[in-house]
Amino acid sequence: MTSETHTQQAEYVHHTAPGGTPDPDAFRVDTFPDIRRAGVGTVLISEWDAENPERQQAMAEGAARALRAAPLPDGLVSQVYLTGTDGRTVLGFGQWEEGRAGASQQAVEAGGARRYRYYRSLLPQGEQPEPGCVVAVSFETTGHEAAQQLVDGLLDLLGEVQPGSAETSRTGSGGISSNFHISEDGTRVFNYSEWTDEAAHQRTVETSLQQGGAVMNLIAGIPGVTPLGFQRYVTPRGLVRR
Protein backbone atom coordinates (compact mmCIF):
# COMPACT_ATOMS: atom_id res chain seq x y z
CA MET A 1 0.00 0.00 0.00
CA THR A 2 1.72 3.15 -1.18
CA SER A 3 1.31 6.58 0.38
CA GLU A 4 -0.78 7.52 -2.68
CA THR A 5 -3.11 4.57 -2.13
CA HIS A 6 -3.31 5.42 1.57
CA THR A 7 -4.41 8.96 0.72
CA GLN A 8 -6.99 7.69 -1.76
CA GLN A 9 -8.42 5.29 0.82
CA ALA A 10 -8.67 8.03 3.44
CA GLU A 11 -10.40 10.27 0.92
CA TYR A 12 -12.81 8.00 -0.96
CA VAL A 13 -15.02 7.55 2.09
CA HIS A 14 -15.72 11.28 2.04
CA HIS A 15 -16.11 11.92 -1.68
CA THR A 16 -19.86 11.29 -1.72
CA ALA A 17 -22.87 13.26 -0.56
CA PRO A 18 -21.72 15.60 2.20
CA GLY A 19 -22.80 14.90 5.75
CA GLY A 20 -21.68 16.42 9.03
CA THR A 21 -18.57 16.02 11.13
CA PRO A 22 -18.71 12.88 13.32
CA ASP A 23 -20.97 13.25 16.35
CA PRO A 24 -19.27 11.56 19.34
CA ASP A 25 -22.70 10.60 20.68
CA ALA A 26 -23.67 8.94 17.39
CA PHE A 27 -20.54 6.84 16.80
CA ARG A 28 -18.39 4.46 18.78
CA VAL A 29 -14.65 4.99 18.26
CA ASP A 30 -12.02 2.31 17.60
CA THR A 31 -14.26 -0.72 18.01
CA PHE A 32 -15.20 -3.74 15.91
CA PRO A 33 -18.27 -3.26 13.68
CA ASP A 34 -21.58 -5.07 14.08
CA ILE A 35 -21.28 -7.42 11.12
CA ARG A 36 -24.89 -8.63 11.03
CA ARG A 37 -26.43 -5.22 11.64
CA ALA A 38 -29.87 -4.76 10.10
CA GLY A 39 -30.23 -2.24 7.30
CA VAL A 40 -26.72 -2.60 5.86
CA GLY A 41 -26.46 -2.83 2.08
CA THR A 42 -23.12 -2.37 0.35
CA VAL A 43 -19.98 -3.38 2.23
CA LEU A 44 -16.64 -2.02 0.96
CA ILE A 45 -13.66 -4.24 1.80
CA SER A 46 -9.98 -3.60 1.07
CA GLU A 47 -6.75 -5.35 2.05
CA TRP A 48 -3.35 -3.68 1.57
CA ASP A 49 0.28 -4.60 2.11
CA ALA A 50 2.06 -1.86 4.09
CA GLU A 51 5.38 -3.76 3.96
CA ASN A 52 6.48 -3.25 7.59
CA PRO A 53 5.03 -2.61 11.07
CA GLU A 54 5.88 1.10 11.13
CA ARG A 55 4.09 1.84 7.84
CA GLN A 56 1.24 -0.46 8.84
CA GLN A 57 0.54 1.46 12.05
CA ALA A 58 0.97 4.84 10.37
CA MET A 59 -1.46 3.96 7.57
CA ALA A 60 -4.18 2.60 9.85
CA GLU A 61 -3.90 5.46 12.32
CA GLY A 62 -3.69 8.08 9.57
CA ALA A 63 -6.78 6.77 7.80
CA ALA A 64 -8.72 6.73 11.09
CA ARG A 65 -7.69 10.32 11.90
CA ALA A 66 -8.74 11.48 8.44
CA LEU A 67 -12.09 9.76 8.89
CA ARG A 68 -12.77 11.52 12.19
CA ALA A 69 -11.65 14.91 10.91
CA ALA A 70 -13.70 15.17 7.72
CA PRO A 71 -17.47 15.40 7.16
CA LEU A 72 -19.04 11.96 6.93
CA PRO A 73 -21.10 11.00 3.88
CA ASP A 74 -24.77 10.27 4.34
CA GLY A 75 -25.47 6.57 4.79
CA LEU A 76 -22.15 5.53 6.31
CA VAL A 77 -22.76 2.94 9.05
CA SER A 78 -19.17 2.08 9.90
CA GLN A 79 -15.63 2.50 8.60
CA VAL A 80 -12.97 0.54 10.44
CA TYR A 81 -9.29 -0.15 9.77
CA LEU A 82 -7.61 -3.21 11.32
CA THR A 83 -3.94 -4.20 11.44
CA GLY A 84 -2.73 -7.67 10.52
CA THR A 85 -0.84 -9.77 13.03
CA ASP A 86 1.79 -10.29 10.31
CA GLY A 87 3.00 -6.72 10.92
CA ARG A 88 2.30 -5.48 7.39
CA THR A 89 -1.31 -5.85 6.20
CA VAL A 90 -4.20 -3.41 6.75
CA LEU A 91 -7.90 -4.24 6.36
CA GLY A 92 -10.47 -1.58 5.51
CA PHE A 93 -14.09 -2.53 6.24
CA GLY A 94 -16.94 -0.09 5.54
CA GLN A 95 -20.69 -0.62 5.86
CA TRP A 96 -23.34 1.51 4.12
CA GLU A 97 -27.09 1.77 4.60
CA GLU A 98 -29.31 -0.20 2.24
CA GLY A 99 -30.13 1.93 -0.77
CA ARG A 100 -27.00 4.08 -0.43
CA ALA A 101 -24.47 3.70 -3.23
CA GLY A 102 -21.49 4.47 -1.02
CA ALA A 103 -18.42 5.87 -2.70
CA SER A 104 -18.32 6.20 -6.47
CA GLN A 105 -17.00 3.22 -8.43
CA GLN A 106 -14.01 5.29 -9.55
CA ALA A 107 -13.13 6.19 -5.97
CA VAL A 108 -13.62 2.60 -4.80
CA GLU A 109 -11.27 1.27 -7.47
CA ALA A 110 -8.68 3.96 -6.69
CA GLY A 111 -8.73 2.98 -3.03
CA GLY A 112 -8.40 -0.72 -3.84
CA ALA A 113 -11.82 -1.64 -2.43
CA ARG A 114 -14.28 -4.24 -3.65
CA ARG A 115 -18.07 -4.06 -3.22
CA TYR A 116 -19.69 -6.88 -1.25
CA ARG A 117 -23.02 -7.71 0.32
CA TYR A 118 -23.54 -9.72 3.49
CA TYR A 119 -24.99 -13.18 2.76
CA ARG A 120 -25.11 -15.68 5.68
CA SER A 121 -23.34 -16.55 8.96
CA LEU A 122 -22.20 -19.36 11.18
CA LEU A 123 -23.56 -18.16 14.51
CA PRO A 124 -22.26 -18.55 18.06
CA GLN A 125 -23.82 -20.82 20.65
CA GLY A 126 -25.13 -18.86 23.62
CA GLU A 127 -24.08 -15.30 24.38
CA GLN A 128 -21.49 -13.90 22.00
CA PRO A 129 -18.25 -12.77 23.68
CA GLU A 130 -16.39 -9.71 22.47
CA PRO A 131 -14.02 -10.56 19.60
CA GLY A 132 -10.31 -10.04 20.11
CA CYS A 133 -9.24 -11.12 16.63
CA VAL A 134 -10.80 -11.08 13.16
CA VAL A 135 -9.73 -13.66 10.59
CA ALA A 136 -10.30 -12.58 6.97
CA VAL A 137 -10.72 -15.68 4.78
CA SER A 138 -11.00 -15.13 1.03
CA PHE A 139 -12.07 -17.27 -1.92
CA GLU A 140 -12.09 -16.62 -5.66
CA THR A 141 -15.29 -17.82 -7.32
CA THR A 142 -16.47 -18.05 -10.90
CA GLY A 143 -19.85 -16.45 -10.23
CA HIS A 144 -22.73 -16.09 -7.80
CA GLU A 145 -23.76 -19.73 -8.14
CA ALA A 146 -20.37 -21.03 -7.06
CA ALA A 147 -20.13 -18.43 -4.28
CA GLN A 148 -23.52 -19.34 -2.84
CA GLN A 149 -22.82 -23.06 -3.18
CA LEU A 150 -19.65 -22.59 -1.12
CA VAL A 151 -21.35 -20.69 1.69
CA ASP A 152 -24.51 -22.77 1.74
CA GLY A 153 -22.45 -25.97 1.77
CA LEU A 154 -20.35 -24.85 4.70
CA LEU A 155 -23.39 -23.81 6.72
CA ASP A 156 -25.15 -27.10 5.97
CA LEU A 157 -22.05 -29.07 6.94
CA LEU A 158 -21.63 -27.23 10.25
CA GLY A 159 -25.30 -26.86 11.14
CA GLU A 160 -25.05 -23.05 10.91
CA VAL A 161 -23.08 -23.03 14.19
CA GLN A 162 -19.59 -21.57 14.49
CA PRO A 163 -17.04 -24.32 15.29
CA GLY A 164 -15.31 -23.65 18.58
CA SER A 165 -18.11 -21.61 20.12
CA ALA A 166 -19.88 -22.69 23.30
CA GLU A 167 -22.19 -21.32 25.94
CA THR A 168 -19.33 -19.21 27.28
CA SER A 169 -15.97 -18.22 25.90
CA ARG A 170 -14.39 -19.91 28.94
CA THR A 171 -15.60 -23.36 27.91
CA GLY A 172 -15.41 -22.87 24.15
CA SER A 173 -12.28 -23.05 22.03
CA GLY A 174 -12.47 -19.44 20.89
CA GLY A 175 -14.63 -19.37 17.78
CA ILE A 176 -17.39 -16.73 17.82
CA SER A 177 -18.91 -16.34 14.34
CA SER A 178 -18.17 -16.52 10.61
CA ASN A 179 -19.88 -13.92 8.45
CA PHE A 180 -19.83 -14.53 4.71
CA HIS A 181 -19.97 -11.70 2.17
CA ILE A 182 -20.24 -12.18 -1.60
CA SER A 183 -18.88 -9.56 -3.97
CA GLU A 184 -21.42 -7.82 -6.14
CA ASP A 185 -19.82 -9.30 -9.26
CA GLY A 186 -19.80 -12.82 -7.80
CA THR A 187 -16.02 -13.29 -8.09
CA ARG A 188 -15.10 -13.27 -4.37
CA VAL A 189 -16.33 -14.64 -1.07
CA PHE A 190 -15.03 -12.88 2.04
CA ASN A 191 -15.49 -14.47 5.46
CA TYR A 192 -15.21 -11.98 8.33
CA SER A 193 -14.62 -14.53 11.10
CA GLU A 194 -14.60 -13.42 14.74
CA TRP A 195 -12.45 -15.15 17.39
CA THR A 196 -11.57 -14.52 21.01
CA ASP A 197 -7.88 -14.31 20.13
CA GLU A 198 -5.27 -15.29 17.55
CA ALA A 199 -4.18 -18.43 19.44
CA ALA A 200 -7.74 -19.80 19.41
CA HIS A 201 -7.89 -19.61 15.62
CA GLN A 202 -4.46 -21.19 15.26
CA ARG A 203 -5.57 -24.18 17.36
CA THR A 204 -8.52 -24.70 15.01
CA VAL A 205 -6.29 -24.40 11.93
CA GLU A 206 -4.08 -27.15 13.36
CA THR A 207 -7.01 -29.48 14.03
CA SER A 208 -10.33 -29.27 12.20
CA LEU A 209 -9.07 -27.16 9.26
CA GLN A 210 -6.32 -29.53 8.15
CA GLN A 211 -6.23 -30.95 4.61
CA GLY A 212 -8.32 -34.11 4.43
CA GLY A 213 -10.81 -32.86 6.99
CA ALA A 214 -14.51 -32.40 6.31
CA VAL A 215 -14.33 -28.63 5.77
CA MET A 216 -11.37 -28.70 3.41
CA ASN A 217 -12.81 -31.66 1.48
CA LEU A 218 -16.07 -29.77 0.98
CA ILE A 219 -14.27 -26.70 -0.34
CA ALA A 220 -12.11 -28.78 -2.68
CA GLY A 221 -15.18 -30.49 -4.11
CA ILE A 222 -17.03 -27.34 -5.22
CA PRO A 223 -16.33 -26.38 -8.86
CA GLY A 224 -15.35 -22.78 -9.46
CA VAL A 225 -13.98 -22.11 -5.95
CA THR A 226 -10.32 -21.30 -5.25
CA PRO A 227 -9.19 -20.63 -1.65
CA LEU A 228 -7.01 -17.51 -1.38
CA GLY A 229 -5.88 -17.99 2.24
CA PHE A 230 -6.49 -16.03 5.42
CA GLN A 231 -5.04 -13.19 7.46
CA ARG A 232 -5.62 -12.36 11.13
CA TYR A 233 -6.40 -8.79 12.19
CA VAL A 234 -6.57 -6.94 15.50
CA THR A 235 -6.77 -3.37 16.88
CA PRO A 236 -9.76 -1.74 15.16
CA ARG A 237 -9.55 2.00 14.44
CA GLY A 238 -12.36 4.08 13.03
CA LEU A 239 -16.06 4.84 13.58
CA VAL A 240 -19.09 2.61 14.13
CA ARG A 241 -22.58 4.11 14.33
CA ARG A 242 -24.30 3.43 17.65
- Quick: pLDDT tens for 118-135: 999 999 887 888 899 999
Strand, helix or coil for residue 1: coil
* Nearby residues of 94 by Cβ (< 8 Å), 6 or more positions away: 13, 43, 44, 45, 76, 78, 79, 80, 102, 113
pLDDT-based confidence at residue 1 (cuts at 50, 70, 90): very low
Mean pLDDT of the 76-99 span: 96
Please state, for a pLDDT cut of 70, what percent of the chain lies above it: 84
pLDDT-based confidence at residue 177 (cuts at 50, 70, 90): very high
Mean pLDDT of the 32-50 span: 96
Could you give the count of Cα atoms lying within 13 Å of 104 in the half-sphere of its Cβ?
9
Could you report the per-residue pLDDT of 131-168, keeping only the tens digit for each?
A: 999 999 999 999 999 999 999 999 999 999 998 776 43
Mean pLDDT of the 95-109 span: 75
Asked whether 238 and 28 are in contact (CB, 8 A), the reply is: no
pLDDT of residue 19: 53
Q: What is the pTM (predicted TM-score) of this model?
A: 0.88
CATH of domain 3-241: 3.30.70.100
Residue ranges per domain, the chain? Answer: 3-241
